[in-house]
């Protein structure tokens, strides 16, 4: 698991460390250059001082100890005669010759150590004055300086770490509070998480989360509705069957008993149809959306459907001859399912003596059916394919599943099912269209 | 008992009409919320059997409207949703009882008798007046320890009178108990039933109040 807190902590600490190290490197380089300059100037001045002394007290104090103060034995001084004789030297000065042949600064190797030397050659007095210090000493000086800066830093780093860690904890607390709030919810609680008061950076995440909550809640409400409808649609016929059976058993006369038995037959027929449709629906749901490969004759399938369903007396069905031989990209069983449910729906809602008309779609591939029933109120049109939905103009034998099945099967065929009320008279027009 | 059945399934609705009719009740039927509201506003019922899922809305809304109007008619909810939460919602909406589908017809009849009894403030399951004991569960009257079988209509007339002993019931009130909306009222049916009842339970039990109606003698 990646921890945002740990990540930020490492990043912050590393960034702080890098900045400090760069600062130290800069300071040490800068100090070194400055130190060189100061020490060189000191060498030069010391050399001039010794030179001026050498002029007046040369003879009396042949070996005057010139001990440059400051760091013990840091500066060493030698005075040579021009002919190469060591006239005098300071107490810490090396035995080897420091002095160069020319005036000015030079780096000289003496007794295995590198010295920085300033030499004054005075031909009038006949002397060479050389003052020098060890480069090793200079390095140690810089090292000490840097070490002096590093020591407190090393002490402060753990403290800084603690502060950063605590600060991050505090900064990330709103996140933890949100996580706590969401974690504490039970599975039923789909209320949106409040975004006011949440940090700006987290708001997009919260919005996405709330969107998801909304979708889950809608899906669940739909599921609950379907379950409730299914319970109603399955249990009501059972209740009817049981009640009628009890009536038949308790009937005091043959007429009452016969009436109850007839009602039982009606109910069994309807329940049979409901069972068939539920099974069709379950099959459709289990099926993948496989696009049909070939084309089939929609007219032939339609004539099959029309012939297989009994019509109430007085109702007529017309099938436009243009439908015969109409090839549509469909699989036979699936198209049969669509057409059968559309046809059943039309038959159910027909008044006595009405006409059901099947015709090809005028401006495209597909077919449509028009009935002369009451139609569907416009505000209910969008609901007709809902499971178990039965509108205001429900038929006695409807199950609320027919158009759901037709629509699902049509989608499996890659076609679209449209519903509209007829404009010329009352009635519904269902169009199955391939695009 | 005159009962309004609000149920959209025709088979179940028919079964309730015939089945509850066998236990001596007169049934009127509607299938939608709209019709139920109209029926409840127009007539007085002893009880309502109300389906929750109706084509044009929820029976619970009808129930809420009825209660808001101050109508205390006992209501028994009949529904396919019989989870505890649904029962609670129904009872809290003002229902007197609740039965999940499918149900037992005899149990439904017994529950209806019970909620009507409670409405009348009676604890006893039987009606008593003028030395007559009437058991609504069996539709049998007992006079001086002797069981007297009654026809369905006779039972309906006698129970209408015995529910409020001493209170005068008009002829049309009694007719309301005898006939549903879709039944033809026979003009002198009430007189005929009263006459038959008097021969069965004794002449003195039912008093004719001339020009107004009938009442049971005895303590109100």
Same structural domain, A32 and A130: yes
Q: What is the largest CA-CA distance in chain B?
A: 54
A160-183: string of b/e by CB count within 10 Å (b at 16+)? Answer: eeeebbeebeeebeebeebeeeee
Q: Looking at beta carbons, which residues of chain A come within 8 Å of B101?
A: 232, 235-236, 238-239
Report the chain A residue with the minimal C-alpha distance to residue B104. A243
Tell me, yes or no, if B106 comes closer than 8 A to chain A by beta carbon.
yes
CB contact under 8 A, B102 and A242: yes
Tell me, yes or no, if B120 comes closer than 8 A to chain A by beta carbon.
no
Alpha-carbon distances, residue B74 vs B70, B157, B158, B167 (angstroms): 12, 21, 21, 21
Report the chain A residue with the minimal C-alpha distance to residue B79. A232
Domain contains A239: yes
Same structural domain, A24 and A155: yes
pLDDT at A265 > cutoff 80:
yes
The CATH number of the domain holding residue A390 is 3.30.565.10
Residue of A238, A247, A264 lying closest to B105 (CB–CB): A247
Nearest 5°: the CA angle A122, A123, A127 is: 55
Residues 395-424 on A with a CB inside 8 Å of B are 396
Where a domain ends, among A254, A282, A310?
A282
For chain B, the straight-line distance linking the first and the last C-alpha, in angstroms and rounded, comes to: 20
Q: What local confidence, expressed as pLDDT, does residue A87 receive?
A: 80
Tell me, yes or no, if B137 comes closer than 8 A to chain A by beta carbon.
no
Domain contains A191: no
Q: Which of A47, A48, A28 is nearest to A36 (CA)?
A: A28
Alpha-carbon distances, residue B135 vs A291, B113, B206 (angstroms): 69, 10, 17
The torsion defined by the Cα of A223, A226, A229 and A234, in degrees rounded to 10, comes to: -110
Q: Looking at beta carbons, which residues of chain A come within 8 Å of B12?
A: 236-237, 239-240, 243
At A167-207, the pLDDT tens digits run 988 888 888 888 888 888 887 788 888 877 778 888 888 88
Strand ranges (DSSP E) for A70-168? Answer: 76-81, 86-89, 104-110, 113-122, 127-134
Q: What local confidence, expressed as pLDDT, does residue B64 receive?
A: 93
Tell me, yes or no, if B26 comes closer than 8 A to chain A by beta carbon.
no
> What confidence tier does A430 reach under pLDDT thresholds 50, 70, 90?
very high
Q: Round to whole Å and give the CA distance between B49 and B9.
A: 13
Q: What local confidence, expressed as pLDDT, does residue A73 receive?
A: 63
Q: Round to whole Å and give the CA distance between B40 and B91.
A: 19
Same structural domain, A334 and A347: yes
* Poorest-pLDDT segment among A86-90, B5-9, B150-154: A86-90
CA B93 to chain centroid, in Å, comes to 22
Residues 175-204 on B with a CB inside 8 Å of A are none
Choice between A187 and B89, residue whose per-residue pLDDT is larger = B89
Same structural domain, A63 and A122: yes
Same structural domain, A234 and A375: no
Q: Round to whole Å and give the CA distance between A429 and A424.
A: 11
Length of chain A: 435
Q: Do the strands A86-89 and A76-81 form a parallel or antiparallel pair, or are they unpaired?
A: antiparallel
Tokens 């009602």 locate to: A263
Residue of A231, A243, A259 lying closest to B12 (CB–CB): A243
Q: Could you say which DSSP state residue B9 is in?
A: -
Residues 6+ positions from B97 with CB-CB distance below 8 Å: B74, B75, B76, B77, B111, B114, B115
At A326-350, the pLDDT tens digits run 888 888 888 998 999 999 889 888 8
pLDDT at A389 > cutoff 80:
no
Q: Do the strands B169-170 and B213-216 form a parallel or antiparallel pair, or are they unpaired?
A: antiparallel
Tell me, yes or no, if A226 comes closer than 8 A to chain B by beta carbon.
no
Report chain B's mean pLDDT, rounded to a whole number. 87
Same structural domain, A397 and A253: no
Q: Which domains does chain B have, with CATH numbers?
A: 2-119 (3.40.50.2300), 127-216 (1.10.10.10)
3-state class of B19 per DSSP? helix
Residue of B10, B12, B53 lying closest to A239 (CB–CB): B12
Task: Tell me the nearest-neighbour CA distance from A234 into chain B, angstroms.
Answer: 8
Q: What local confidence, expressed as pLDDT, does residue A396 receive?
A: 66
Q: What percent of chain B has pLDDT over 90?
A: 31
Q: What local confidence, expressed as pLDDT, does residue A313 receive?
A: 82
CB contact under 8 A, A235 and B102: yes
A386-415 average pLDDT score: 80
* Residue to test with chain A: of B6, B7, B15, B85, most A Cβ within 10 A: B15
Residue of A231, A234, A243 lying closest to B15 (CB–CB): A243
Q: Looking at beta carbons, which residues of chain B come within 8 Å of A399?
A: none
Q: Round to whole Å and give the CA distance between A410 and A334.
A: 8
The model's pTM is: 0.62
Q: How many domains does chain A have?
A: 3
Q: Round to whole Å and give the CA distance between A408 and B126.
A: 58
Q: What local confidence, expressed as pLDDT, does residue B45 receive?
A: 92
A111-129 average pLDDT score: 84
Domain contains A406: yes
Report the chain A residue with the minimal C-alpha distance to residue B52. A232
Same structural domain, A293 and A358: yes
What are the structure tokens assigned to A283, written together?
A: 């099959």
Q: Round to whole Å and give the CA distance between A203 and A194.
A: 9
Domain contains A174: no
Q: Looking at beta carbons, which residues of chain A come within 8 Å of B19?
A: 243-244, 246-247, 250
Most confident of the following: A269-278, A291-300, B58-67? B58-67
Q: Which of A399, A390, A406 is nearest to A343 (CA)?
A: A406
Are A79 and A93 contacting, i.e. CB atoms less than 8 angstroms apart?
A: no
3-state class of A102 per DSSP? coil
Same structural domain, A238 and A296: no
Domain contains A224: yes
Task: Tell me the nearest-neighbour CA distance from B138 into chain A, angstroms.
Answer: 13
Task: Tell me the nearest-neighbour CA distance from A188 into chain B, angstroms.
Answer: 14
Where a domain ends, among A108, A134, A166?
A166
pLDDT at B167 > cutoff 60:
yes
Same structural domain, A261 and A231: yes
Same structural domain, A222 and A337: no
Where a domain ends, among A260, A282, A304?
A282
Same structural domain, A293 and A262: no
pLDDT at A387 > cutoff 90:
no
The torsion defined by the Cα of A241, A247, A253 and A255, in degrees rounded to 10, comes to: -30
Tell me, yes or no, if B103 comes closer than 8 A to chain A by beta carbon.
yes
At B22-35, the pLDDT tens digits run 888 889 999 999 99
Are B24 and B106 contacting, i.e. CB atoms less than 8 angstroms apart?
A: no
Backbone angles phi, psi at A242, to 5 degrees: -65, -45
What are the structure tokens assigned to A59, written together?
A: 């003879």
Does ipTM top 0.90?
A: no
Q: Do the strands A316-319 and A355-360 form a parallel or antiparallel pair, or are they unpaired?
A: parallel
Chains A, B: CB contacts under 8 A, how many?
Answer: 93
Q: Which of A221, A423, A376, A413 is nearest to A298 (CA)?
A: A413
Residue of B8, B81, B103 lying closest to A239 (CB–CB): B103
Q: Could you say which DSSP state residue A323 is in?
A: G
Q: What local confidence, expressed as pLDDT, does residue B219 receive?
A: 53
Q: Round to whole Å and give the CA distance between A323 and A308.
A: 18
Show the domain range for A348: 287-434
Domain contains A411: yes
Same structural domain, A274 and A291: no
CB contact under 8 A, A228 and B103: no
């Amino acid at each position: 698991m990646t921890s945002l807190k740990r990540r930020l902590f490492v990043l912050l600490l590393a960034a702080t460390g890098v900045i400090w190290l760069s600062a130290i490197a800069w300071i040490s380089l800068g100090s070194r250059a400055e130190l060189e300059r100061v020490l060189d100037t000191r060498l030069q001045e010391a050399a001039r001082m010794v030179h001026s002394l050498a002029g007046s007290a040369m003879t009396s104090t042949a070996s005057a100890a010139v001990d440059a103060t400051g760091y013990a034995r840091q500066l060493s001084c030698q005075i040579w005669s021009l002919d190469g004789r060591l006239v005098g030297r300071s107490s810490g000065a090396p035995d080897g010759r420091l002095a160069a042949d020319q005036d000015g600064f030079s780096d000289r190797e003496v007794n295995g150590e590198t010295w920085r030397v300033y030499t004054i050659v005075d031909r009038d007095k006949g002397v060479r004055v050389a003052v020098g210090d060890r480069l090793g000493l200079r390095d140690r000086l810089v090292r000490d300086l840097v070490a002096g800066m590093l020591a407190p830093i090393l002490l402060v780093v753990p403290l800084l770490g603690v502060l950063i860690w605590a600060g991050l904890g505090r900064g990330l607390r709103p996140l933890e509070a949100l996580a706590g709030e969401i974690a504490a919810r039970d599975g039923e609680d789909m209320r949106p998480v409040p975004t006011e008061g949440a940090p700006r950076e987290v708001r997009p995440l919260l919005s996405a989360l709330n969107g998801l909550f909304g979708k889950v809640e809608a899906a669940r409400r739909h599921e609950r509705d379907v379950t409730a409808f299914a319970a109603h649609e399955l249990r009501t016929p059972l209740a009817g069957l049981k009640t009628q059976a009890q009536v038949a058993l308790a009937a005091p006369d043959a007429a009452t008993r016969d009436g109850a038995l007839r009602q039982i037959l009606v109910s069994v027929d309807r329940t049979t149809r409901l069972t068939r449709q539920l099974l069709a629906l379950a099959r459709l749901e289990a099926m993948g959306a496989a696009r049909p490969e070939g084309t089939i004759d929609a007219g032939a399938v339609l004539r099959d459907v029309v012939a297989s369903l009994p019509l109430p007396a007085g109702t007529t069905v017309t099938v436009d001859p243009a439908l015969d031989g109409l090839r549509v990209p469909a699989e036979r069983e699936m198209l049969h399912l669509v057409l059968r449910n559309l046809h059943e729906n039309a038959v159910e809602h027909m008044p006595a003596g009405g006409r059901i008309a099947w015709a090809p779609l005028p401006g495209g591939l597909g077919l449509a059916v028009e009935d002369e029933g009451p139609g569907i109120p416009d505000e209910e049109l969008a609901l007709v394919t809902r499971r178990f939905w039965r509108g205001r103009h429900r038929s006695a034998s409807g199950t609320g599943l027919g158009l759901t099945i037709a629509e699902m099967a049509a989608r499996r065929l890659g076609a679209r099912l449209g519903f509209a009320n007829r404009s010329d008279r009352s009635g519904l027009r269902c169009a199955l269209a391939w695009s | 008992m005159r009962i309004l059945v609000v149920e959209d399934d025709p088979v179940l609705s028919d079964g309730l009409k015939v089945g509850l009719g066998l236990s001596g009740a007169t049934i009127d039927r509607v299938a939608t919320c709209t019709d139920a509201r109209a029926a409840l506003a127009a007539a007085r019922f002893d009880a309502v059997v109300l389906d929750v899922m109706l084509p044009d809305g929820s029976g619970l809304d009808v129930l809420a409207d009825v209660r808001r109007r101050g109508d205390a008619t006992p209501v028994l909810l009949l529904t396919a949703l019989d989870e505890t939460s649904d029962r609670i919602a129904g009872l809290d909406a003002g229902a007197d009882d609740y039965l999940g589908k499918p149900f037992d017809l005899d149990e439904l009849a017994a529950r209806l008798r019970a909620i009507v009894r409670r409405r009348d403030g009676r604890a006893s399951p039987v009606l008593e007046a003028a030395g007559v004991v009437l058991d609504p569960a069996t539709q049998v009257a007992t006079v001086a320890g002797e069981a007297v079988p009654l026809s369905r209509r006779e039972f309906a007339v006698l129970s209408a009178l015995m529910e409020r002993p001493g209170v005068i019931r008009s002829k049309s009130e009694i007719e309301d108990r005898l006939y549903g909306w879709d039944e033809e009222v026979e003009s002198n049916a009430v007189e005929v039933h009263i006459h038959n009842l008097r021969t069965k339970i004794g002449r003195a039990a039912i008093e004719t109040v001339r020009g107004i109606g009938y009442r049971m003698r005895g303590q109100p």
